[in-house]
Amino acid sequence: MTAAADVLQARLPRGAAVLEIGCGSQPARFVTIGLDCDHAAVRSAATRIPCVTGDAGSLPFSDRCFDAILARGVLHHLADPAIVLAEARRVLRSGGRLIVLDAAPMPAVEFADMNRQLRTAGVAPEPLNGIAPDRLNQLAQSAGCAVVEKAGAGRWTHATPPYTDHEFTSPAWIHTLTWP
């Protein structure tokens, strides 16, 4: 998932304040602070950068404090990505950018198979909806932001422990969003 990180880093001035939403245990190397809802991931990531445990729908940061936000593989896990866009708008400075790398929706039969395998492995499936680029465009427009760049990013491989014996792939894409 380095494509989004490369896109973002190439557009940042030196010293930019960068938040990574859903940083997991492997935040991008240039991130100022990471946020994840998983305590174990935050503990692991905190050995490299400052990290906090939190909810992307209610960011624990003051208004207009970041130059950029990176969200790699986050939106497809959310029941309502519009809430995260609203929070991104709140914490981004004027002209700030939100870089999103995510997976397009897979066919319903693949999601059903993935969820069945997760349940068999004893893992409760979380929302794995995929989010089509057109849907993000609609959400962005509703949130008052502009899509300033769109690019394909190859294929996204869905293979999450403890079930890694079966992989699903879907198209991946990058969008760069900004607010006036």
Q: What confidence tens digit (pLDDT) does each residue in 84-138 have?
A: 888 998 999 988 888 887 766 655 556 566 666 666 776 655 555 566 677 778 8
Instruction: Write down the pTM of the prediction.
Output: 0.75
Distance CA 24, CA 29 (A): 13
Fold classification of 2-178 (topology level): Rossmann fold (3.40.50)
Longest dimension (CA), the chain: 47
Paired with 53 in beta bridges are 36
Q: Which residue has the higher pLDDT, 160 or 178?
A: 178
**Count of CB atoms within 10 A of residue 154's CB?**
10
Contact (Cβ atoms closer than 8 angstroms) between residue 155 and residue 169: yes
Domain boundaries, the chain: 2-178
Between 118 and 43, where is the model more confident?
A: 43
- Name the nearest CA neighbour of 19 among 78, 102, 104, 89: 89
> Which residue from 152, 123, 128 is spatially nearest to 73, judged by alpha carbons?
128
Give me the pLDDT at residue 135, please.
77
